[in-house]
Amino acid sequence: IELIADCDGVLTIRRDGLKAVNSLGEMMIATRHGGFPVRKGDKLAGTRIIPLVIKKDKMAAAQEAAGPAPLLDVHPFGQKKAGVVTTGNEVFHGRIEDTFTPVIESKLAEYGAVMAMHTTLADDPAAITAAIQDMLDKGMDMVFCTGGMSVDPDDQTPLAIKNTGARIVSYGAPVLPGAMFLLAYSGDNRPIVGLPGCVMYAKRTIFDLVLPSLMADVPVTADDLAGLGEGGLCLGCPVCTFPNCGFGK
């Protein structure tokens, strides 16, 4: 028996239930990795009865071990509108070109989302906070901030995000590229994200691991981010095959 996705979305797996079923013996379920995007028609999982036949009480035990909720679920992608706040004195004053924003637009487009608002600001935390709040007030589903995410004294973006009153999930993630990633949620659970500079130049980063869940309104927790450490080292292969590789798994 095989399970096929009926829509485009992000796959989630109840790993404890899956392991409980597979620990019983006589039957098995093999799945894709959760947390990654799938497309309608993709194969998600397959199951087999190991001895070809199985007693009814064993199947009942497997059902009990799995629990009442589905082991797998596909959360469909929504039609998202994003705001982008580009920060940094160098970009604001035109000393360097903004090459970050086009990268974000491209990655959003992979999920049918659009950048509906964009502003460029100097390293002024009060102005950045006001811009984030303005984008939320004008109906943006999420806000991405670029620049100012390291530990340099001039980097003000984390402070600006905190000053919106958002709930900070994590500042930092065990992923390379992407250690200086910041994730927060507004009071009504809209994501506010601080993107480190690596997203601008590295092909795949923490952004690629988290963005599918954000696009499907699947909450990302501090525990989720902490769990990315094993597999969180991108090897920068000469030919990138992501997501068909170990990155994020």
| Mean pLDDT, residues 178-196 taken together | 97
Greater model confidence, 218 or 89: 218
Sorted by sequence, the CB contacts under 8 Å of residue 46 that are 6+ apart come out as: 1, 2, 3, 29, 30
Of the candidates 129, 138, 187, the one whose C-alpha atom is nearest the C-alpha of residue 158 is: 129
pLDDT band at 94 (very low <50, low <70, confident <90, very high): confident
pLDDT band at 228 (very low <50, low <70, confident <90, very high): very high
DSSP 107: H
Judged against a pLDDT cut of 70, whether residue 16 lies above it is answered with: yes
Q: What pLDDT, on the 0 to 100 scale, is given for residue 25?
A: 87
* Helix boundaries (H) for the chain: 15-22, 56-66, 89-92, 101-109, 125-137, 157-162, 198-201, 206-215, 222-226
Instruction: Write the burial class of residue 50 (CB in 10 Å: 0-12 exposed, 13-18 middle, 19+ buried).
Output: exposed
Q: What pLDDT, on the 0 to 100 scale, is given for residue 80?
A: 97
| Mean pLDDT, residues 48-55 taken together | 86
φ, ψ dihedrals at 46, nearest 5°: -140, 150
Rg (CA), the chain: 21
Q: What pLDDT, on the 0 to 100 scale, is given for residue 90?
A: 86
Judged against a pLDDT cut of 80, whether residue 150 lies above it is answered with: no
| Percent of the chain at pLDDT exceeding 90 | 85
Task: Decide: helix, strand or coil at residue 70.
Answer: coil
Report the residue count for the chain.
Answer: 249
Judged against a pLDDT cut of 60, whether residue 172 lies above it is answered with: yes
C-alpha 125/C-alpha 127 separation (Å) is 5
Task: Decide: helix, strand or coil at residue 64.
Answer: helix
pLDDT band at 151 (very low <50, low <70, confident <90, very high): low
> Residue 212, preceding bond cis, omega within 30 degrees?
no
Judged by average pLDDT, the poorest of 109-118, 147-156, 191-200 is: 147-156
Q: What pLDDT, on the 0 to 100 scale, is given for residue 153?
A: 56
Question: If you average pLDDT over every residue of the chain, what do you get?
Answer: 94
| Model confidence pLDDT, tens digit, residues 196-219 | 999 999 999 999 999 999 999 999
| Percent of the chain at pLDDT exceeding 70 | 98
| Mean pLDDT, residues 114-134 taken together | 96
Judged against a pLDDT cut of 80, whether residue 154 lies above it is answered with: no
Greater model confidence, 136 or 63: 136
Q: What pLDDT, on the 0 to 100 scale, is given for residue 35?
A: 95
Walk me through the domains of the chain, giving residue ranges and CATH numbers.
2-76 (3.90.1170), 81-226 (3.40.980.10)
Q: ∠ CA 115-214-132 to the nearest 5 degrees? A: 50
φ, ψ dihedrals at 222, nearest 5°: -60, -35
Judged against a pLDDT cut of 80, whether residue 155 lies above it is answered with: no
Sorted by sequence, the CB contacts under 8 Å of residue 87 that are 6+ apart come out as: 120, 121, 122, 123, 128, 145, 146, 147, 148, 156, 157, 160
Query: Has this prediction a pTM greater than 0.75?
Result: yes
